[in-house]
Amino acid sequence: MIIITGLEGIPPVGPGDDLGCLIVEAAGRGEVGLREGDVIVVTSKVVSKAEGRLLSLKEVVPSGFAEEIARATGKDPRHVEAILRESARIVRMRGNVLITETRHGFVCANSGIDRSNIDGGRIALLPVDPDESAKGIRDRIMDLAGVDVAVIVTDTWGRAWRLGQVDFAIGVAGMYPFKDYRGEVDPYGYELSVTEIAVADELAAAAELAKGKLSGVPVVVIRGYEYVRGDGCAGQLVRPIEKDLFR
- Give the SS3 label for residue 190: coil
Q: Is 213 strand, coil or helix?
A: coil
Q: How far apart are CA 110 and CA 66, in angstroms?
A: 13
Alpha carbon distance 149, 38 (integer Å): 5
Burial of 96 (0-12, 13-18, 19+ CB in 10 A): exposed
Count of other CB atoms within 10 angstroms of residue 88 = 14
CATH of domain 3-52+127-243: 3.30.1330.100
pLDDT in tens, the chain (247 residues): 999 999 999 999 999 999 999 999 999 987 889 999 999 999 999 999 999 999 999 999 999 999 999 999 999 999 999 999 999 999 999 888 899 999 999 999 999 998 776 776 789 999 999 999 999 999 999 999 999 999 999 999 998 889 999 999 999 999 999 987 676 667 777 766 667 889 999 999 999 999 876 678 999 999 999 999 999 999 999 988 888 877 7
- DSSP secondary structure letter of residue 196: E
Q: Residue 109: count other Cβ atoms within 10 Å of its Cβ.
A: 18
pLDDT at 16: 96
| Sequence ranges of the chain with CATH classification 3.30.1330.100 | 3-52+127-243
Residues 170-186 as b/e (b if ≥16 CB within 10 A, e otherwise) read: bbbbbbbbbeeeeeeee
Distance between CA atoms of 204 and 212, rounded to whole angstroms?
12
The Cβ-side half-sphere exposure at 162, using a 13 Å CA radius, reads 6
Fold classified for 55-123 = CofE-like fold (3.90.1660)
pTM comes to 0.93
Euclidean distance between CA atoms 108 and 155, whole angstroms: 10
Cα 20 from Cα 33, distance rounded (Å): 14
Where, residue-wise, is CATH 3.90.1660.10 in the chain?
55-123
